[in-house]
């Protein structure tokens, strides 16, 4: 996943990565889940850290 993040997200403006919605941590978690759950159906959640103490998590129920 690290290589994918480097290729798709690193050093890019997040508005260019996630089009059509606010690139908040919450929306990033949803977007990453949507992309990766197709490759890994067993994936149940994604957490995106903003700082050491704050994050957003998307859980598929």
Q: What is the pLDDT of residue 27?
A: 94
To the question of pTM greater than 0.95 for the whole model, the response is no
pLDDT of residue 4: 83
pLDDT tens string 12-56: 898 998 888 899 999 999 999 999 999 999 999 999 998 999 999
Kindly list the domain boundaries of the chain, sorted by start residue. 2-59
What does the angle CA 17 – CA 15 – CA 6 come to, to the nearest 5 degrees? 35
Task: Kindly list the distances between the CA atom of residue 49 and the CA atoms of 10, 12, 29, 38, 41, in Å, as whole numbers in the listed order.
Answer: 14, 17, 9, 22, 23
Instruction: Output the 3-class SS for 13-31.
Output: CHHHHCCCCCCCHHHHHHH
- 30: CB partners within 8 A, 6+ apart: 46, 58
């Amino acid at each position: 996943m690290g290589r994918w993040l480097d290729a798709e997200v690193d050093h890019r403006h997040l508005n260019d990565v996630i089009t059509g919605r606010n690139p908040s941590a919450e929306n990033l978690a949803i977007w990453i889940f949507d992309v990766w759950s197709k490759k890994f159906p067993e994936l149940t959640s994604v957490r995106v850290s903003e700082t050491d103490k704050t994050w957003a998590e998307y859980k598929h129920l």
